[in-house]
Amino acid sequence: MKLSNIPFGITDWADISETRHQGETGYAIWRTQNFGDIRVRMVTYSPNYLADHWCQKGHILLCLEGELHTELDDGRRFVLTPGTSYQVADQAEPHRSSTGDQGAVLFIVD
């Protein structure tokens, strides 16, 4: 990831319009900003969300609230709690997300 041609700016995420993405169960609400090739998102997952796909895109992801459960296609499982993050490269390890009863709020750069 190379950050270039991005002037200093402040994002008030409450001012960014929402898009809703249905999961296999539950849903995700995205607030998205694009800066050249970099996508930055504040994502709120509903309780009991399960992604409807295996993602192969790279991310840097920080859990702000709740718990995010991440499963890799090789069977490994991880749980992020507030203040923990993960990072994965494009095409490196397919992964999918889910949440428990409390949902999750994430900050994601990809």
Domain spans in the chain, listed from the N-terminal domain onward: 34-109
As a whole number of angstroms, the distance between CA 30 and CA 59 comes to 15
Q: What is the pLDDT of residues 81-106, one digit of tens each?
A: 999 999 999 898 999 999 999 999 99
CATH code: domain 34-109 is 2.60.120.10
Burial class (CB in 10 A: 0-12, 13-18, 19+), 103: buried
Average pLDDT, the chain: 95
Q: What is the pLDDT of residues 39-77, one digit of tens each?
A: 999 999 999 999 999 999 999 999 999 999 999 999 999
Q: Whole-prediction pTM value?
A: 0.91
